[in-house]
Chains A and B, each alone.
Chain A
Amino acid sequence: MPLLSGLNLTAMFNVEDIRKDFPILSRKVNGKPLVYFDNAATSQTPKQVIDAIVDYYSNYNANIHRGVHTLSQEATDLYEQARYKIQAHFNAKFSHEIIFTSGTTHGINLVANGFSTLLKKGDDIIVSALEHHSNIVPWQMLCERTGANLKVIPMNQEGELVMAEFDKLLSENTKLVFVNHVSNALGTVNPIEYIIEKAHQVGAAVLIDGAQSSPHIKPDVQKLDVDFYVVSAHKMCGPTGVGMLYGKEAWLKKLPPYQGGGEMIAEVTFEKTTYADLPHKFEAGTPNIAGGIVFGAALDYMNSIGFDAIASYEHELLEYATERLLEIDGLKIYGTSKEKTSVISFNLEGIHPYDVGTILDKLGIAVRTGHHCAQPIMDYYKIPGTVRASLAFYNTKTEIDLLVEGVKKAKMMLS
């Protein structure tokens, strides 16, 4: 029997202690204590991660993979250790299946570009109706280049993908399926296990956008049998400008390099260049060295709290926030799937989300308003956008109470 089963994980989880790790949470905004509910856009940074940035630049800063000098070797070791940490976290089979990127969008574009040489006219690419623009536009561009067709898995009122329709879209022409693990606008957790299994049955590859899942769920890429998985460090308490593309070794070997430059080559003559082995084939130029190393520190931090404890506590926050917000007359929540991360997208009847967000900002409460780079979802609901409160493990029920009071005040001022 696992050691932790039967224990109340949230009881072991002391949010007040955790909050002390985040310096920014003690600042004021517009004269009020900051309430940060825009975690789906970017998470806040704990001092352990900030210290890792300072430590790198104070003690190890050098270019990597080339120098014979000690600093360069130490920096290279740290960078490659971070790759091992990421490999272990996502349970990749090999460390060379982990490609450092500048973030999720970069990872998606790298794969889309690679597939442009593998697709032909008449092939199908399937995306979901819940995608972020960054997971729609690269595929539209790819379809324009190759003559492939873009097909869309529709959604329902609850904000869930309709799997029966997905089954109908699949055929022997399907070459690629791209779905986010969790919707950024609604928080829906998509049934990626089913999607991956079905896509593989027709021989299609699957890329999962893990930008919104990775802060809440620890995915096992081998167990999922997923072909590609992409994430951004800055949603996981890490720095901006760095992320990861996981790809199965066989696929990464098949895809051509994305960018030319230093690091990605083995030998260069004017007649021919031979490419470096994985992962360097996809890591042209000097990478974001500090970012990669600190990404590892961010994973260490999150794992020290534990993803089970995080998920359990965030679920408790989600239920509390949902219940409290629904006390407000005329408030409607968009995205009511049973499987959801701690994201609440809502509107007040007859009031523009921008107005609500502006008043909340005056009260020191940070939420996101607008279409959340997912216009097709807003078109589906026929709304200009929503107010999105996305909660993290360092948020509290007291902050949710402040949000509820803030929304009530906004309603009073704006009605």
Chain B
Amino acid sequence: MSIEEIQNEIIDEFSMFEDWEERYQYMIDLGKDLPLIDDQYKTDSNIIKGCQSKVWVHAEMQGDKLVFTADSDAIITKGIIAILVRAFSNQHPKDIINSETGFIDEIGLKEHLSPTRANGLVSMIKQLKMYAIAYQTQLN
């Protein structure tokens, strides 16, 4: 599936929820299914700055696709990063670089997009795209 198709799928899933509680409960559940980062990569250099909770992200190429694994010590943050990993992992770096992030707004997580929010959603997206740019440079 393309990034856009996955994002639409996530939007569909979230559209079923009537209130914030259901949305957050779902996000917390998604966090539990996050493809976990291997302990060896849970290093200080893989911590995303700007988050009140700790978020580690690792990226590696598998074939021509970039695969993300991650973890966080806070479960809501883990849910947010799980949504991002689902949308952007296992894709060509070029597609990740060119992808839109408007779906975050559509699934009712707009409040987390403000750069002043302590969870650092903006930093997370930036970091995933930075990995994509780095690997794309290697491919060129």
Q: Is A384 interfacial (CB 8 A cutoff)?
A: yes
Q: Is A354 interfacial (CB 8 A cutoff)?
A: yes
**Interface residues of B, count at CB 8 A:** 15
Q: Is B99 interfacial (CB 8 A cutoff)?
A: no
Instruction: Please name all residues of chain A whose beta carbon is closer than 8 Å to the beta carbon of B52 when the two chains form the complex.
Output: 354, 369-370, 385
Q: Is A19 interfacial (CB 8 A cutoff)?
A: no
B74 near A355: Cβ-Cβ < 8 Å: yes
Complex Cα–Cα for A385 and B52 (A): 9
B118 near A354: Cβ-Cβ < 8 Å: yes
B64 to chain A minimum Cβ distance, whole angstroms, is 36
B98 to chain A minimum Cβ distance, whole angstroms, is 31
Contacting residue for A362 out of B24, B53, B118, CB 8 A: B24
Q: Is A140 interfacial (CB 8 A cutoff)?
A: no
Complex Cα–Cα for A352 and B119 (A): 12
Determine which residue in B25, B54, B76 has the highest number of CB atoms from chain A within 10 A of its CB, and name it. B76
A354 near B24: Cβ-Cβ < 8 Å: no
Say yes or no: A354-B119 contact (C-beta < 8 A), given A362-B20, A385-B52: yes
Say yes or no: A352-B28 contact (C-beta < 8 A), given A384-B73, A413-B21, A414-B75: no
Q: Is B77 interfacial (CB 8 A cutoff)?
A: yes
Q: Is A359 interfacial (CB 8 A cutoff)?
A: yes
Instruction: Please name all residues of chain B whose beta carbon is closer than 8 Å to the beta carbon of A398 when the two chains form the complex.
Output: none
Contact with B along A4-30 (1 / 0, CB 8 A): 000000000000000000000000001
Q: Is A336 interfacial (CB 8 A cutoff)?
A: no
Complex Cα–Cα for A131 and B76 (A): 30
Instruction: Please name all residues of chain B whose beta carbon is closer than 8 Å to the beta carbon of A358 when the two chains form the complex.
Output: 24, 76, 119
A interface residue count range (under 10 / 10 to 19 / 20 to 34 / 35 or more): 10 to 19
Say yes or no: A355-B75 contact (C-beta < 8 A), given A370-B118, A413-B28, A414-B28: yes
Contacting residue for A354 out of B20, B25, B28, B77, CB 8 A: B77
Contact with A along B21-38 (1 / 0, CB 8 A): 100110010000000000
Instruction: Please name all residues of chain A whose beta carbon is closer than 8 Å to the beta carbon of B20 when the two chains form the complex.
Output: 30, 362
B24 to chain A minimum Cβ distance, whole angstroms, is 7
Instruction: Please name all residues of chain A whose beta carbon is closer than 8 Å to the beta carbon of B76 when the two chains form the complex.
Output: 354-355, 358-359, 414
Seed contacts A362-B24, A413-B28; 5 additional CB < 8 Å A-B pairs: A354-B52, A358-B76, A384-B54, A384-B73, A413-B21
Where the two chains meet, the residues of B that have a C-beta atom closer than 8 Å to any C-beta of A are: 20-21, 24-25, 28, 52-54, 73-77, 118-119
8 CB contacts below 8 A, A to B, read A351-B75, A352-B74, A352-B77, A355-B76, A359-B76, A369-B52, A370-B52, A384-B73
Question: What 6 pairs between A and B have smallest CB-CB spacing?
Answer: A352-B74, A354-B74, A354-B53, A354-B52, A355-B76, A355-B74
